[in-house]
Chain A
């Protein structure tokens, strides 16, 4: 049975000169072979050892996808220590809970932004002895004892290795499949973050099953753009990379992600629904603003009748090329429910998109959709069949639970929570409502987000929201109706696509704020709501009344205000509380709502519409 460090050693013997990693910097893609990766990892691991890192210690890794952070993860695992990837944009407040909870001994971070978040916490973290930084810009002059640059750490490693040439090898030999491989903090749609502890075999067993089923090879090109703190990034990028030895590509910066992806042309791609939705919205709004009607015609034809040869050559292939999707063999979407229209669109475009389901507690993957390559669309809410070795059970309250080789060990330092999530037989509750029949899993909503009207009829807000979000002009929606006789909706428009739409019609605006209150824009959204209401019973169940009232918000939901998780999942309760006045005004039947700033000045007049 393999471990991450043993796989690294295999790559050196089997594909030493094969490109393992590319990173774009100064406009050029720089490559590292497996040989070079392994050398970097070894010096760093020796550096860590020289500074006292031992098996079982935790190392927080904070930053974007840069080679050095991947080396840090591998070096930590080589010593039998446990990497804890945290989100690059986390502020001190968010980091505090996680760093205190995981009792990190080292922190490896990318640049000044993260250093500025970690340094104020040092007083509360007596265990933390080393803060290693990759990018020296701005940090060099900091006078903090714990700070050490990545280069210095590696230099220390060289000295240590010459005196202790066998230390690393011995440490690697001590790592077993049952050793802790990662602590992954769950995104927490409904609570405070908890650190799921997962072993090497948790990730590698399920990774092997996935790689075999989906026929991945060492020739894959993978684009590493998801935050490392996501369990999906650790699974779809890191684990599968270590198993197959393919090539991962790191973008130059967050802003260049889309153009870098085009240059890479990945063959294997995983993304959350909002990633695919963004591409879908862009293509649609570009097609709508193009003078040529050909694109519209072919896109329409494609959605209804399938691709034609001419359409492929003239429209679909160029579109795929524009977004770097030409070489994709299979793409995967997961982390939340993708709207059927978006899913259908990519399949019709000729991209073999499949839905997946997973969580931090399952090492990132539970099931993958089985779908024939030319099927235009799949059944709604289906997230596939369980991977080899994984069992699914639906509990009495309709909650999905699973058990398998990927079942996590428990939450770090939290026996009570672990006991609640995982029972004595190893079944783990996912917190999602779903159905499981004919070996096919469907996910409907979070357990705590099922709603019921005052009439007693149950409804699932997410299904109504997803139906609305199928519009390229709508970015987010929250539907509220708990203990009322009808539902109301808070709608956030997509600034890019609605902006392009407004430009075409020569509607002047200065930003999202103003755009959202334009009569024409409200009318555009109203059309969608009316459209949905005509088929609401299909979407929301037989007892679901239509959306009676709604408003277009003059802002997006905010991660900083806790309205969304870092992975852009909405937090219903926080949104409900933050917008309670608007929601009450909607239910009270008021025609408008005045948004004021902290000083009481009028910022915007929202129109509260009746459908």
Chain B
């Protein structure tokens, strides 16, 4: 397995198995994600990619195995605590507040960091005003980073799909995650939008130092930007390593070309 000694693992998955009433979604999967890398989890449809992401994020609780994030080991984790620990994510189907503006949607990503209570916010007293300004500054930096200035005040529902995806990325980024999980960030996009999204993902990784775990079923898109690729098929891990290593792996080629099991 590709585990250079000088790299520190931020996420260690050990012997994870997940089943739904007897249907095995994930079987005995172990892999590491190293700090500061872009790691792609790829595989054909139904390979267990999204289940894997949901396990990392605490949406599903695996029957077996342990997860270690940032040095802390646990078997059970709730999505909220995952967020508090610094795991951010986006969803395969866009999950934004469609009636709210781009700015407010991204602002909602700062929610966890707001300390003022309900009354302080409602009356704009105490910590609320100062906090609002600080968070607005942070959000504006993200808006500039993602080039969303011209639609800052536009309701999300009226935006094109590719832009909505970008807003969702912005909201996840607003929480300043240590690790960002992206569930098919390029699904349904035009080629141009895919290229834009690849650039943003790389820039987030470089500029903010955020570790990125992304899921894609389109191999071509991710090979260029990933440092590390994990390949799943039928709930099992069939490849794990640097992109070119994985590309030449016979199991991976079979899975993508479709060899009967």
Interface pair B150/A26, CB less than 8 Å apart: no
**A26-B140, A26-B141, A138-B206 are known contacts. Are A253 and B152 too (CB-CB below 8 A)?**
no
- 8 Å CB contacts to B: which residues of A13-64? 25-27
**Which of chain A's residues has its CB closest to B152's CB?**
A27
B124 at the interface (CB under 8 A from A): no
CB distance from B25 to the nearest CB of A (A): 38
A259 at the interface (CB under 8 A from B): yes
CB distance from B141 to the nearest CB of A (A): 7
Interface pair B137/A26, CB less than 8 Å apart: yes
B149 at the interface (CB under 8 A from A): yes
- 8 Å CB contacts to B: which residues of A118-138? 137-138
CB distance from B225 to the nearest CB of A (A): 15
* Chain B residues within an 8 Å CB radius of A166: none
* Chain B residues within an 8 Å CB radius of A27: 140, 143, 149, 152
Residue from the list A141, A255, A256, A259 in contact with B206, Cβ < 8 A: A141
Bound-complex Cα distance A248 to B140 (A): 23
B28 at the interface (CB under 8 A from A): no
A445 at the interface (CB under 8 A from B): no
* Chain A residues within an 8 Å CB radius of B140: 26-27
Interface pair A255/B207, CB less than 8 Å apart: no
Interface pair A137/B149, CB less than 8 Å apart: no
Query: Number of contacting residues on A, CB 8 A?
Result: 11
* Chain A residues within an 8 Å CB radius of B207: 137-138
CB distance from A167 to the nearest CB of B (A): 36
Interface pair A256/B203, CB less than 8 Å apart: no
Chain B 121-159 interface 0/1 with A at a Cβ cutoff of 8 Å (1 = within): 000000000000000010011011101011010000000
Interface pair B144/A25, CB less than 8 Å apart: yes
A609 at the interface (CB under 8 A from B): no
Chain A 239-253 interface 0/1 with B at a Cβ cutoff of 8 Å (1 = within): 000000000000011
Bound-complex Cα distance A25 to B143 (A): 10
- 8 Å CB contacts to A: which residues of B166-223? 203, 206-207
* Chain A residues within an 8 Å CB radius of B206: 138, 141
Bound-complex Cα distance A141 to B205 (A): 13
Interface pair B143/A259, CB less than 8 Å apart: no
- 8 Å CB contacts to B: which residues of A88-142? 137-138, 141
Residue from the list A138, A141, A253 in contact with B150, Cβ < 8 A: A253
Q: How large is the interface on B (under 10, 10 to 19, 20 to 34, 35 or more residues)?
A: 10 to 19
* Chain A residues within an 8 Å CB radius of B147: 253, 255
Interface pair A259/B203, CB less than 8 Å apart: no
Interface pair A255/B149, CB less than 8 Å apart: yes
CB distance from A51 to the nearest CB of B (A): 28
* Chain B residues within an 8 Å CB radius of A255: 147, 149-150
Interface pair A253/B203, CB less than 8 Å apart: no
CB distance from A250 to the nearest CB of B (A): 13
* Chain A residues within an 8 Å CB radius of B144: 25-26
Bound-complex Cα distance A26 to B138 (A): 9
CB distance from A113 to the nearest CB of B (A): 12
Bound-complex Cα distance A27 to B153 (A): 10
Bound-complex Cα distance A4 to B65 (A): 72
Bound-complex Cα distance A137 to B206 (A): 10
Bound-complex Cα distance A477 to B144 (A): 37
Residue from the list B141, B145, B149 in contact with A256, Cβ < 8 A: B149
CB distance from A609 to the nearest CB of B (A): 31
Bound-complex Cα distance A255 to B144 (A): 12
Interface pair B143/A256, CB less than 8 Å apart: no
Interface pair B203/A138, CB less than 8 Å apart: yes
**Which of chain B's residues has its CB closest to A257's CB?**
B150
CB distance from A29 to the nearest CB of B (A): 13
CB distance from B15 to the nearest CB of A (A): 38
Bound-complex Cα distance A138 to B202 (A): 10
Which residue of B141, B147, B149, B206 has the most chain A CB atoms within 10 A of its CB atom?
B149
Interface pair A259/B141, CB less than 8 Å apart: no
**Which of chain B's residues has its CB closest to A258's CB?**
B150
Bound-complex Cα distance A268 to B140 (A): 30
Bound-complex Cα distance A26 to B135 (A): 12
**Which of chain A's residues has its CB closest to B202's CB?**
A138
Bound-complex Cα distance A26 to B203 (A): 19
Bound-complex Cα distance A255 to B149 (A): 8
Interface pair B150/A259, CB less than 8 Å apart: yes
- 8 Å CB contacts to B: which residues of A125-161? 137-138, 141
Bound-complex Cα distance A259 to B151 (A): 10
CB distance from B127 to the nearest CB of A (A): 21
Interface pair B137/A256, CB less than 8 Å apart: no
Bound-complex Cα distance A137 to B152 (A): 21
Bound-complex Cα distance A27 to B139 (A): 10
**Which of chain A's residues has its CB closest to B138's CB?**
A26
Bound-complex Cα distance A25 to B140 (A): 9
CB distance from A181 to the nearest CB of B (A): 33
CB distance from A512 to the nearest CB of B (A): 15
* Chain B residues within an 8 Å CB radius of A25: 144
* Chain A residues within an 8 Å CB radius of B143: 26-27
Bound-complex Cα distance A255 to B140 (A): 16
Bound-complex Cα distance A25 to B149 (A): 9
* Chain B residues within an 8 Å CB radius of A138: 203, 206-207
Which residue of A26, A252, A256, A259 has the most chain B CB atoms within 10 A of its CB atom?
A26
CB distance from B188 to the nearest CB of A (A): 15
Bound-complex Cα distance A103 to B37 (A): 42
- 8 Å CB contacts to A: which residues of B69-98? none
CB distance from A140 to the nearest CB of B (A): 9
Chain A 421-461 interface 0/1 with B at a Cβ cutoff of 8 Å (1 = within): 00000000000000000000000000000000000000000
**Which of chain B's residues has its CB closest to A136's CB?**
B207
Bound-complex Cα distance A26 to B207 (A): 18
CB distance from B195 to the nearest CB of A (A): 14
Bound-complex Cα distance A182 to B144 (A): 32
Bound-complex Cα distance A138 to B205 (A): 11
**Which of chain A's residues has its CB closest to B207's CB?**
A137
**Which of chain B's residues has its CB closest to A137's CB?**
B207
Bound-complex Cα distance A248 to B203 (A): 32
Interface residues, chain A, CB within 8 Å of chain B?
A: 25-27, 137-138, 141, 252-253, 255-256, 259
Q: List 6 A-B contacts (CB under 8 A).
A: A26-B140, A26-B144, A137-B145, A255-B149, A255-B150, A259-B150
Interface residues, chain B, CB within 8 Å of chain A?
A: 137, 140-141, 143-145, 147, 149-150, 152, 203, 206-207
Q: Nearest 6 CB-CB pairs, A to B?
A: A26-B140, A255-B150, A256-B150, A252-B149, A253-B149, A256-B149
- Besides A138-B203, A138-B206, A256-B149, 19 more A-B contacts (Cβ < 8 Å) are A25-B144, A26-B141, A26-B143, A26-B144, A27-B140, A27-B143, A27-B149, A137-B145, A137-B203, A138-B207, A141-B206, A252-B149, A253-B147, A253-B149, A253-B150, A255-B149, A255-B150, A256-B150, A259-B150
